[in-house]
Structure formats: C-alpha cells, structure tokens
Amino acid sequence: MRGMTIGKLAKEAQVGIETIRFYEREGLLEPPLRRPSGYRQYSEGVIDRLRFIKRGKELGFSLKEIKELLSLRATPGSTCDQVKSQAQAKLEAIEAKIRDLQRMKRALKKLTTACRGEGSVSECPILEAMENKTRKRRTS
C-alpha cells in the first residue's frame, strides 16, 4: 500500500503540516518511513492517532497527558481505571479553573458596576481597586 504525503495527511486529519512535524518531534507520532525521494510516507493509521490527539486537546488534556494516555493504550496490562483516574484528575483541574474564572467574573462585575465610565482615569474606581489590591499585597 502506498502511504500518504504529509500534505494529504494534514488535509485528512484537518491539522497543519507544522503540527504533524511538531508531534513527531514531541514523540506523539512515530517518525514516518521515507520514500527514496526523501518524502515522508504516512500510513492510514496516523490519521486516527492525529484525531485522538486533537480530541484530547479539545477535552483539555495537555500534549504530555495525551502522550501518557497513548502510552496506556499501547501498554499491555493497562486498565481502564488508569485512564479514568487521569480523566478525573483533568476534570478536577477544569472545575478548579472554572471556580477561579467565576471568582474573577464576580470581581470584575463588581468593579465595572462601581465605575460610571466618566471622568479621568486618575479617578477610575477600577484602576483604584487594582492599585489598592497591589499595595495591600506588597505591604503584607
């Protein structure tokens, strides 16, 4: 079977050529065979692996975490529980990030409500609140 060029692979997997090269350097993709002409020759299975990586990123996994999941998948004796533990850890990190974002949203909402949007910036309650917070941290 003839393999695909990097351009065709990128198109099929809907990723950039540089992304494929980066994943190769990071060890997420095996280095491809090369044709006598020097062109990379990829098998059809690489498309599935790229889609796995892409979906993992969409779910919030880092490339390091995706590499670990791929390793679990390829290691005999690995269990679904190991994968579930990693997914639960990612879920907890996402929930913590959401809490932080909600806290920031409440603080910004309070500040934007306090600001009339008039006057000079030297009297802006948003900037004043930020300066006071910074001063408090420095003196603590």
Which of 38-42, 81-85, 122-126 reaches the highest mean pLDDT? 81-85
Q: Where are the domains of the chain?
A: 6-78, 86-139
48-94 residue pLDDT tens: 999 999 999 999 999 999 999 999 998 999 999 999 999 999 999 99
Question: In whole angstroms, how large is the CA radius of gyration of the chain?
Answer: 24
Cβ distance 86 to 65 under 8 Å? yes
| Topology, domain 6-78 | Multidrug-efflux Transporter Regulator; Chain: A; Domain 2 (1.10.1660)
Residue-level pLDDT at 3: 82
SS3 content of the chain, % helix, strand, coil (to 5): 70, 5, 25
Calpha distance 117→74 (Å, rounded)? 58
- Residues 103-117: what's their mean pLDDT? 93
Cβ distance 57 to 23 under 8 Å? no
